[in-house]
Copies of this chain bind each other. A is one copy, B any other.
Amino acid sequence: MKRATLRDIAQVLGVTVATVSRALKNYPDISSATKQTVLATAERLHYAPHPMAVKLRQQAYKVVGVVVPDIVHPFFSDVISGIVDVMEALGYHIILSQSNESYEKEIRVTQMLQATGVDGLLVCLSNETVSIDHLRALQEYDLPVVLFDKISPLLDASSVVTNDFQGAYDAVAHLLDQGYTRIAHIKGPPHPENTRQRFLGYQAALAAYGLPFRPEYVAECHTVTHEEGATFALRFMALPEPPQALFAVSDSVAIGAITALKEAGWRVPQDMAVIGFSDWSVCRMLEPSVSSVSQPGYDIGRRASELLLREIRQLREELPPEHSRVVLDATVQVRQSSLRPTAG
């Protein structure tokens, strides 16, 4: 069964396509009698407007592109979910691409998305990305771009990020508030700004509580895996004066650390309190349940979508697009792994 067109309906009724089009869109200058018959035959022929024809006229696709480094990642799943919910409510669809943390691929997919004809782009930069010329090129063709999570100060665009600094600060403050004074940190690699901010938040919290920064209490990941968490946790324990608490840059590292500590005979949190970052769903399933800093992935997706939709609207109305910078707080989820046993 081939799909019916306006012409098909017009031929059946002996009118022109213009009349049919206007009847279907309920124009006032079409008699209600004609409207009736048009609607009836449209129904009968299972008419549906041809998407591309409409979009060619309207110059609006109602589709936005989404680029994330890695689809298979709980955080990005959350973000995407937030994006989809907002976009679908307004009749927009999303085209999903992943950069695999590759700068080359990021350039490729953004260009492909532009060529596909999206109305805007939601991008989380890859870790490799240094130049943002490929995104600037999109903007020059009036294609709005909103960055989220991993952003670049070089691009004049709206952005939505987690307050990693504050999240880390709060996590460490939570440990400090309980009276811990020797707090270690397993930090991420230097490059992604996000994990650097967590390290800075860690330092700032120590400073705010008048505690010295002890380099021997800081380890730096390369792979950010649970193996590294295990290695560094045990290394900390071997220090002459081992730390009492650990703030890990990610949940995988935190879980690796906890697992290794328990296997080595230490108790969590009695011998070492641990708190992670990201709040994976398994955190609450473990024993002890793992404290973590939860990133508002879903909200990041929502807010980024709203900003993009606003810019798309402004562009359609020939207004200069406004750019906003949204920073969402991360919230500490206190569970057993970081709760200091009441002395007694």
Contacts and interface: CB of A to CB of B under 8 A. Distances in A.
Interface of A: 1-3, 46, 48-53, 55-56, 59, 61-63, 71-74, 77-78, 80-81, 84, 88, 91, 93-98, 109, 112-117, 140-142, 226, 252, 255-256, 259, 262-263, 280, 282, 284-287
B96 A51 contact: no
Nearest to A140: B1
Contact of A95 (B2, B95, B226): B95
B84 A77 contact: no
Given A282-B282, A286-B286, 10 more contacts: A46-B141, A49-B115, A50-B117, A51-B61, A52-B55, A53-B56, A80-B96, A84-B98, A93-B95, A93-B113
A313 to B, nearest CB: 19
Contact of A71 (B77, B91, B252): B77
Number of identical monomers bound together in the oligomeric complex: 2
A14 to B, nearest CB: 26
Given A94-B96, A115-B51, A80 B71 contact: yes
B285 A262 contact: no
Contact of A81 (B49, B61, B72, B141): B72
Contact of A51 (B88, B116, B141, B263): B116
Contact of A116 (B53, B63, B72): B63
Given A48-B115, A77-B77, A141-B3, A255 B71 contact: no
A259 B286 contact: yes
Contact of A1 (B62, B109, B141): B141
Given A141-B3, A285-B255, A88 B97 contact: yes
A250 to B, nearest CB: 11
A62 to B, nearest CB: 7
Contacts of A113: 93
A77 B81 contact: no
A88 to B, nearest CB: 7
A84 to B, nearest CB: 6
A285 B233 CA distance: 14
B78 A72 contact: yes
Given A51-B117, A96-B94, A112-B91, A263 B287 contact: yes
A149 to B, nearest CB: 16
A295 B94 CA distance: 27
17 contacts: A2-B142, A48-B114, A48-B115, A50-B117, A52-B56, A56-B56, A63-B95, A71-B81, A77-B77, A84-B97, A84-B98, A93-B112, A94-B96, A95-B95, A252-B285, A259-B286, A280-B282
Contacts of A285: 226, 252, 255-256, 259
A63 B49 CA distance: 18
A94 B252 CA distance: 30
A121 B78 CA distance: 23
A74 B74 contact: yes
B52 A61 contact: yes
Contact of A72 (B62, B74, B252, B286): B74
Contacts of A114: 48
